[in-house]
Amino acid sequence: MASSTEENYLKSLYNLANVQGEVNLSELAASLQVSLPTANSMVKSLQKSGWVIYEKYKPLTLTKEGKKTAALIIRKHRLTEMFLVKVMNFGWEEVHEVAEQIEHIHAPKFFERMDQMLGFPTVDPHGSPIPDPQGKITPLSYTPLAHAKPGQHVQLAALTNSSTEFLEFLNSRKLSLGTQLTILSKESYDQSMVVSYAHHPSETLSEKVCERLLVRVLD
Amino acid sequence: MASSTEENYLKSLYNLANVQGEVNLSELAASLQVSLPTANSMVKSLQKSGWVIYEKYKPLTLTKEGKKTAALIIRKHRLTEMFLVKVMNFGWEEVHEVAEQIEHIHAPKFFERMDQMLGFPTVDPHGSPIPDPQGKITPLSYTPLAHAKPGQHVQLAALTNSSTEFLEFLNSRKLSLGTQLTILSKESYDQSMVVSYAHHPSETLSEKVCERLLVRVLD
DNA sequence: CAAATTTGTTAGAATAGTCTAACTTTGTAA
DNA sequence: TTACAAAGTTAGACTATTCTAACAAATTTG
């Protein structure tokens, strides 16, 4: 069984996986905030345990086992976030830290109960998909708000970034998942967009924000 | 801040504390299932951190700080057990293992929310008192069933032992906290007792069981 | 393409927590 | 009160995870 540290490496590897599912050591080290040699030696040991495929100077890939293990940790993380928000009344900006700890708890029944109490949710409070109990994950197919056209009606469905600061920014604008927006205009100079939604007849969102908001196009 | 390992040492020390609040190294080592040298070296480091008072060949005592830290971990443990039973519908025999892990989570708000959702309980599912947020604990003042006299009416209030096996035994007899018992007789040969309670007109409980059941005398 | 930069590797060390083996103190009991 | 047993200590070693310093390979770029 993986230690918490190992679980964190697998999770990072899973989340960083690029087009080919390949990740550089440096990316991994940066994402975990450890030095390159630390990541290097850990990766060697993950390889010995059969979780990653690794050859000197080559990029890293998770094995099938590694992917599944990672997905199941992410499942626990997202289920926990959902539980904190729906059952324990946390704000969506408060749940990450706690979930980072609870995801390492070994107690299948605890997470099964959460799942059941939540009615088997498929996405977490930030719209990210929750892997199923087998570690299968259905990728999202939403569009960045930045790609929407003036006149379109869209609904906020997920975020590509869930940092506390961004979530607090969204709170301050009363933007939450499900909010329906009408795109009023797009400024070609800086790609910012002017949108309207309930009680907010005109709100300007920067390019950065528009890229982080994933929407479902309604018309 | 204490590591999980250190927290476990403090908790054991707190729970083992005898009359003088003194504990032997061997008791500690046995309770944590580590070797004597391991306990010895850990105790030295706990002393350096100001959590225990220790001198070569002398018994151990927790400092004020150590006691408070321990009580707050026990608070998290018991609050968690209560949450698992009352909110997540676990059986009282299933909660210990999970709580052993969750008690090490650092997330004040998480436990405050539990406390609030539970209506600020003062005892856990096994009748053990929950330390307050300052680490103060009110000791129980119940009587072992073994001390009750034939003819008395008592109510099951707490347990001195909460092992899974004992809890499953109680489940099998439909005995739970709050159950009112009438003591029918006590066998002087083996100290076993014959009691009656809802739907159980006559149930024999061994001395061992009677010593582990703490009751409130009703008349 | 050769230099510069980025990326990855090795070596060596530190800390936390654990162990076994060997030895010393303390406490008990004949 | 000496001898044995129980309890505690020391020394030395091991694993996991981390670091810095020094070096090597790969990649980028003028």
Say how far apart CA B47 and CA A28 lie, in whole Å.
38
Look at residue B19 and tell me whether its pLDDT is greater than 90.
Answer: no
List of chain B residues whose C-beta atoms are within 8 Å of the C-beta of residue A85: none
pLDDT computed for residue B36 by the predictor: 98
Residue A19 has pLDDT above 80, yes or no: no
pLDDT over 90 at A24, yes or no:
yes
User: Which residues in A lie closer than 8 A to residue B109 (C-beta atoms)?
Assistant: 90, 94, 98
Q: Is the pLDDT of residue A18 over 80?
A: no
Flag whether residue B115 sits within 8 Å of chain A, measured between CB atoms. Answer: no
A34-62 pLDDT tens trace: 999 999 999 999 999 999 999 999 999 99
* Amino acid A102: pLDDT: 98
Nucleotide nearest to A58 (CA to C1'): C8
Confidence of residue A105 (pLDDT cuts 50, 70, 90): very high
How many angstroms separate the CA atoms of B39 and B10, rounded?
A: 12
Torsion of CA B52, B58, B59, B61, to 10 degrees: -30
What's residue A40's pLDDT?
A: 98
What is the three-class DSSP state of B9?
Answer: helix
For residue A219, the model assigns a pLDDT of: 78
- Up-side HSE of residue B188: CA atoms within 13 Å toward CB? 0
Mean pLDDT, chain B, as a whole number? 96
Chain A, chain B: beta-carbon pairs less than 8 Å apart:
38
Strand C atom within 7 Å of A45 CB: no
The answer to whether residues B215 and B147 touch, using CB atoms and an 8 Å cutoff, is no
Distance, in angstroms, between B105 CA and closest chain A CA? Answer: 6
CB atoms within 10 A of CB B75: 23
Contact B107 A98 (CB under 8 A): yes
Q: What ipTM was reported for this prediction?
A: 0.93
CA–centroid distance for B84 within its chain? 16
Model pLDDT, residue B20: 82
pLDDT at residue number A21:
85
Of A144, A177, A137, nearest to A11 (Cα)? A137
- Which whole number is the average pLDDT over A14-40? 93
| Domains (range + CATH), chain B | 4-62 (1.10.10.10), 143-217 (2.30.30.90)
Shortest Cα distance, chain B CAs vs residue A80, angstroms: 12
pLDDT for the residue A76: 98
**pLDDT of residue B18 exceeding 80:** no
Looking at chain B, the whole-number percentage of residues with pLDDT higher than 70 is: 100
pLDDT at position A20: 81
Q: Using one digit for the tens of pLDDT, what is the confidence trace for A81-102?
A: 999 999 999 999 999 999 999 9
Asked if the Cβ–Cβ distance from A107 to B101 is below 8 Å, we say yes
**Region A106-129: what's the mean pLDDT?**
98
Nucleotide C19 C1' to residue A60 CA (A): 35
Task: Please determine, for residue A133, whether its predicted confidence score (pLDDT) is greater than 90.
Answer: yes
B116 CA from C4 C1′ (Å): 61
CA distance A100 to B98: 17
Query: pLDDT value at position B219?
Result: 78
| Distance of alpha carbon A52 from alpha carbon B214, whole angstroms | 54
Taking CB atoms and an 8 Å limit, are B90 and A97 in contact across chains? no
Q: Are A107 and B114 an interchain contact pair (Cβ–Cβ within 8 Å)?
A: no
Query: For B105-111, what is the mean pLDDT?
Result: 98
CA–C1' span, B188 to C23, in Å?
A: 50
Give the percent of chain B with pLDDT over 90.
96
pLDDT of residue B89: 98
